[in-house]
Amino acid sequence: MEREVTRRGVIELGMGAALAIPAAGAMADAAQAQQKSPGSVGYAVVGLGKLSIGQILPALKRTKNAHLAALVSGSPEKAKRLAAEYGLPETAIYSYDTFDSIAKDPNIQVVYIVLPNSMHADFTVRAFKAGKHVLCEKPMAVTLAECERMIAAGKAANRQLMIAYRCQYEPVNVTAMQIMRKGTLGTPRLVSAVMGKQTDLSDPSDVWRLDMAMSGGGALADMGIYGINATRYLLLEEPVEVRGWARTDRNDPRFKTVDDLIAWQMRFPSGAIGEGSSCFSQPGTMSWQAIGSDRRMVADPGCFYGGNSLRIVGGKNDPQPQVKEMDQFGNEMNWFADVVRGKSPNVSPGEEGLQDMRIIHAIQQSVANGGASVKIAGGYRRAYDPATTVGIRTSV
């Protein structure tokens, strides 16, 4: 039976587009706060759903360059409980109606937006008007016009906008990018990505994902964006053409407005091909493999919150990557804190999020036209390569 969702209830489901895989056990316990560096940046977390409670708030106890400064919630009871747990005064609690008053709070430098996709643009613009920098969950928004409005608002306010592409700051994926740049696999031929999960309408966190108006694309926007983004950063080039196909059982109550399984192909200027799929009716999967003329590289899993792995296949006596896991959300928030402080470049700005949305919309257009080829407008060029800019040290 489909569950009714109130506005406040939807807001409180502010969970990021990934499976709720717990952080690795080897990581420091969330209750042990790390010593903060001088000038640590204060974060206001907007939306206290699964991702915020399970990953973001605990990570802010471990970050060196960032700390929790405020909570924004539609549930006063939840906000008070979490404020007490994380040592915040009640004056650091804001509702969605009082959100704009963060402009008067000097303790907040960054707003981290963890809301359903359809709410990203409005809260990003409001945060910029309040004079704050913005870290926004992916996908960036629902429409291209919303993405462009967010970028323009950041420029007008002279504030930074970063999209929370945590895998661009995560050791397995950064290591994979470094291996690709070294040419270990030979000439890149194919990147294949499979992203999906089993959704359930009795789970409130799935309800807005299965609503086209709120999600902007169901599994493609929620899970497929990982495969699309990974293909782009592994190959370090942009697609010029895409095709897409869908398979959806419209008798399934989960898929009244969104497609279930979407598969796609992307053609790149070098001749490399990207292929992938995203699905909301399969076991939890977030994997990719890159195939070159000499070897292939497999990350399975490759995009979970913890427990990712990487191996090289096809060479003789190849050393295998030895990657030390870290808190992905903490590393991402530390990085953006340094962007705000002028110590690091913005590796995943709004333009990066807009490019993925262009591709997602092109795939949707192709699906609507029976798999017809759709050209991708050129012009986007990544300002910084995460492989060299983020520079996580590895033994390979």
CATH 3.40.50.720 location in the chain: 7-166
Cα of 250 vs its chain's centroid, Å: 28
The question of whether 169 is a catalytic residue gets the answer no
What pLDDT does 316 receive? 86
Of 43, 112, 226, 233, the active-site residue reads: 226
SS (H, E, C) 359-373: HHHHHHHHHHCCCCC
Provide the sign of the torsion angle of the four alpha carbons 202, 204, 206, 212, taken in this order.
Answer: positive
What pLDDT does 378 receive? 84
> Is residue 393's pLDDT more than 90?
no
* Homologous superfamily assigned to 171-324+350-389: Dihydrodipicolinate Reductase; domain 2 (3.30.360.10)
Q: How far apart are CA 200 and CA 327, in angstroms?
A: 28
Q: How far apart are CA 351 and CA 210, in angstroms?
A: 26
> Is residue 10's pLDDT more than 60?
no
> Is residue 133's pLDDT more than 70?
yes
Q: How far apart are CA 328 and CA 311, in angstroms?
A: 20
What is the tens place of the pLDDT at every residue in 69-79? Answer: 999 999 999 99
CATH 3.30.360.10 location in the chain: 171-324+350-389
Query: Cβ(40)–Cβ(66) under 8 Å?
Result: yes
What pLDDT does 33 receive? 54
Which CATH number does 7-166 carry?
3.40.50.720
The question of whether 94 is a catalytic residue gets the answer no
What pLDDT does 9 receive? 44
What is the tens place of the pLDDT at every residue in 286-299? Answer: 999 999 999 999 99
> Is residue 3's pLDDT more than 50?
no
pLDDT band at 171 (very low <50, low <70, confident <90, very high): very high
> Is residue 29's pLDDT more than 60?
no
Q: What are phi and psi of 151, to 5 degrees?
A: -65, -45
Of 50, 61, 132, 138, the active-site residue reads: 138
Provide the sign of the torsion angle of the four alpha carbons 377, 177, 222, 153, taken in this order.
Answer: negative
Query: Which DSSP category does 220 fall into?
Result: I
What pLDDT does 315 receive? 87
Q: How far apart are CA 350 and CA 347, in angstroms?
A: 10
pTM: 0.91
Among residues of the chain, what percentage have pLDDT more than 90? Answer: 86
C-alpha distances (whole Å) from 251 to each of 14, 183, 260 are 28, 47, 12
> Is residue 34's pLDDT more than 60?
yes
> Is residue 28's pLDDT more than 50?
no
Residue that is written with structure tokens 């995560």 in the block: 170
Rounded to the nearest 10°, the torsion over CA 138, 141, 144, 150 is: -100
> Is residue 18's pLDDT more than 80?
no
Closest C-alpha to 310, from 294, 321, 318: 321
Query: Judging by DSSP bridges, how do beta strands 133-136 and 110-113 pair with one another?
Result: parallel
Interval 137-157 mean pLDDT = 98
